[in-house]
Amino acid sequence: MTARMLRLFPGPPEDMALDGAYLAHRLHERGSAGAPFVYASFVASLDGRIALRDPMTGESRLPAGLVSGNDFRLFLELQAQADCMVTHGGYLRDLAAGRLDNVLQVGTQDATRDLARWRTDNGLAPQPALVIASASLDFPMPDSPARHGQRVLIATGAAAPAERIAQWRAAGHEVLAVGSGASVEGGPLADALGRQGLRSIYLLTGPRMLDTMLRDRRLSRLYLTTAHRLLGGESFHSMLAGPELGDAGRLRLCALHYDASAPDGTGQFFAHFEPRPA
């Protein structure tokens, strides 16, 4: 049976199919080389947790209570609209260690072939480019991007280790210096990717990248799934972990949907927001 959800805003309320809901946003058409459309997504609990951290090992994990097939379908639809996806070195280290699943490609499984066809039908490359943001440049390169013909760019800061920059370039990878220090900065990254012809940029990163994109006024849209449960836990991650944002954190609700069935019958909200003009 096809998953359904209830649109609550903008009204009036309407029952609608979940599949295709985010594809209808046509994010790949919203940006340009001079002003790429930069979007991010998170799933959180009612008490604002996006991950829990093991105080003994320091490793972070996505709690099972936040995971649902309906949210994952919408995540995949956001991937399908990207010219490029931005990930980070920490994800690649966790991927190599077997702690996380590989989500670097679109439409490679039988259940998601429709998304691969959607990309082809809408004039997008078979796979989005992959951008790896890293200050240390110390991460393993998975083999899946090469197997799927993905373009790979590495983004770092001007103060990143010169020897590692040289190593990655010698291995045939493009390295972009997009920050005045060691870390990647949102504005320079968006500008550099726009010059590369990448108009829709999906952030598969975390709080640090969200923070710099907001502060540099380059985030175009934020998608947020809120699972209707409280997680607790003394050591956790939330969507942001830096100083106060001030006016850069002002967002406007664009749409709100209610999924009564997941996760585990507790229900969840799907919302997306856009920053308010300065």
Taken in order 155, 158, 164, 168, is the CA torsion positive or negative? positive
Q: What is the pLDDT of residue 56?
A: 76
Contact 5, 259 (CB under 8 A): yes
Q: What is the pLDDT of residue 263?
A: 93
Q: Running along the chain, 278 residues long, what does each successive block of 10 average in pLDDT? A: 92 96 98 97 97 84 92 98 97 94 95 96 98 97 97 97 96 96 97 98 97 97 98 93 93 98 95 90
Q: Hey, how many other C-beta atoms are within 10 angstroms of the C-beta on 219?
A: 26
Q: What is the pLDDT of residue 252?
A: 97
Omega cis (within 30) before 145: no
pTM of the complete model beyond 0.85:
yes
Q: What is the pLDDT of residue 175?
A: 97
Q: What is the pLDDT of residue 1?
A: 61
